[in-house]
Structure 1
């Protein structure tokens, strides 16, 4: 597929590659405009800023809902992908509006967190948590239900989803209905069998993953100094977390770290639903949306959302 060829030739190999990689994404896969997200009036879409972490800039949020949606709808708090080094609050939102918000009747609030390497850990995850705190306190302003919030994201956004769930637990923060982590970026050590198998192969291989983690963590990457809010795989206690949905391709870098994380949630007595999609590569459901396994993956997420949100 042409999209795979474009990504393979463009993925960063070091933090110095990040500007080039961002420029490539902007040229080949630009984020939608607000008018495109509104889709001819099907959705109400606005952007606003909310207070960020103490001493840090405000956090931009994109707030979207199907036009005419009654108040009190469940909320998806979305954290975008991009390896912690790219993306915006509009990245990936079109599909979420079409596939989740419209059929299930949901409010979608997407955060625009600061990116590495310009803003290394903990800037991005603290922005995400600050945005979540605002959403929990003010969801009714957007027509949402503060008692039904699912944090969701893919790739880097999936890792941030897991991290924010840990933060909410540890800080006695918002009580989440669920966490939906798609092909999440969880482990800075980047040394699982699947990571080694995918070196030089496919989308977002071990080398690109290492460049992203190095951008986020600098010299701390791979050492004992990395905290769980930076890399959730480092958490020693996975008890007391909201129900989790995790999925990953069988042919991608993140396969083994995702399987391990879900297994550890079960061992801690938690609720996790795990899918490892045979033949799936990183981002397969977006890059090859019409193949059978991509359709199955997207449908399985909707079924889980229906169950946890009682839709």
Structure 2
């Protein structure tokens, strides 16, 4: 199929990366054994053990007065990653905007399946809300990338339907929203090695859902029939990635329900391009744009 080309700068950088077409149990095992990417922060850190899940709280040093909280859900196709994956994104907001960051370690598929992942994330959100005063938090933004973006959307839907916790905004970065894997963009990025291909997406969803036919919209948010009553929503995606069409559709349906959504589709961006190559020009623009959106919504 014809498909949008990569941004020239990103394409040149991507050519140096090892890429795959499919994700297998053997490859997943190898990826899970890789050492985590180190990160640096001057923030105060508190680790919280809730049994089956863990949280880490990062607070700006010398925080003066209540601050918004970004509740962060990591990416990894539902099958890999940990609470420090892509943590540089919310920590950037901590440094620039003075927000508190809470990041959740949910369980992974295929070891757990069905709604377990989103239920784990919701449980962490409940803890954050219940401890907001002690944390110095006055509002909660739910944010995530890739699979974490899909889980963030699912958590936000669940919070709406159950009457809380209250969510001030949601930030969905190239979110994984639709288990059906049947859009035009899904078919465009199939058959060739990539960062996240249609074949990899099928592996991730199969790991979560198996052969289930009754799929919860909290797991696959594109199934939600009603997208009204959601908090202000930021969605971004690349024009050259599997999730493009499901992400654009999700924002469109929020508008159709009378909601507040901002959508950015970055020309030539592949999946999570701004994480892989944060210094590329289009990556810098993407990161700056979503930070500016948070500034407007949070009044920071």
Moved more, 77-86 or 199-208: 199-208
Distance 1:268 1:16 in 2: 43
1:205 aligns with 2:193: no
1:176 aligns with 2:167: yes
Corresponding residue for residue 18 of structure 1:
28
Q: Which structure carries more relative contact order (alpha carbon 8 Å, separation 6+)? A: 2
Distance 1:5 1:189 in 2: 31
Per-residue deviation, 1:4: 6.2
Q: How does 1:155-170 map to 2 (within 5 A)?
A: 155-170=146-161
Distance 1:260 1:5, change over 3 A: same
Corresponding residue for residue 6 of structure 2:
none
> In structure 2, which of residues 211, 220, 226 is the aligned counterpart of residue 219 of structure 1?
211
Corresponding residue for residue 261 of structure 2:
272
- The answer to whether the Cα contact below 8 Å between 2:52 and 2:107 also exists between their aligned partners in 1 is no
> In structure 2, which of residues 247, 250, 254 is the aligned counterpart of residue 258 of structure 1?
247
Corresponding residue for residue 92 of structure 1:
86
Distance 1:206 1:89 in 2: 25
1:236 aligns with 2:244: no
Distance 1:130 1:290 in 2: 35
- The answer to whether the Cα contact below 8 Å between 1:111 and 1:128 also exists between their aligned partners in 2 is yes
Gaps of 5+ in 1: 51-56
Distance 2:15 2:178 in 1: 24
Q: How does 1:26-37 map to 2 (within 5 A)?
A: 26-27=34-35, 30-32=36-38, 36-37=39-40
Q: How does 1:75-90 map to 2 (within 5 A)?
A: 75-90=69-84
- The answer to whether the Cα contact below 8 Å between 2:70 and 2:90 also exists between their aligned partners in 1 is no
Deviation string 1:160-199 (CA, Å, 9 cap, x unpaired) is: 1100000000111111110000000000010100000000
Distance 1:128 1:4, change over 3 A: farther
Distance 2:14 2:267 in 1: 20
Q: Which has the higher helix share?
A: 1
- The answer to whether the Cα contact below 8 Å between 1:162 and 1:181 also exists between their aligned partners in 2 is yes
For normalisation by structure 1, the TM-score amounts to 0.88
- The answer to whether the Cα contact below 8 Å between 1:14 and 1:214 also exists between their aligned partners in 2 is no
Gaps of 5+ in 2: 1-11
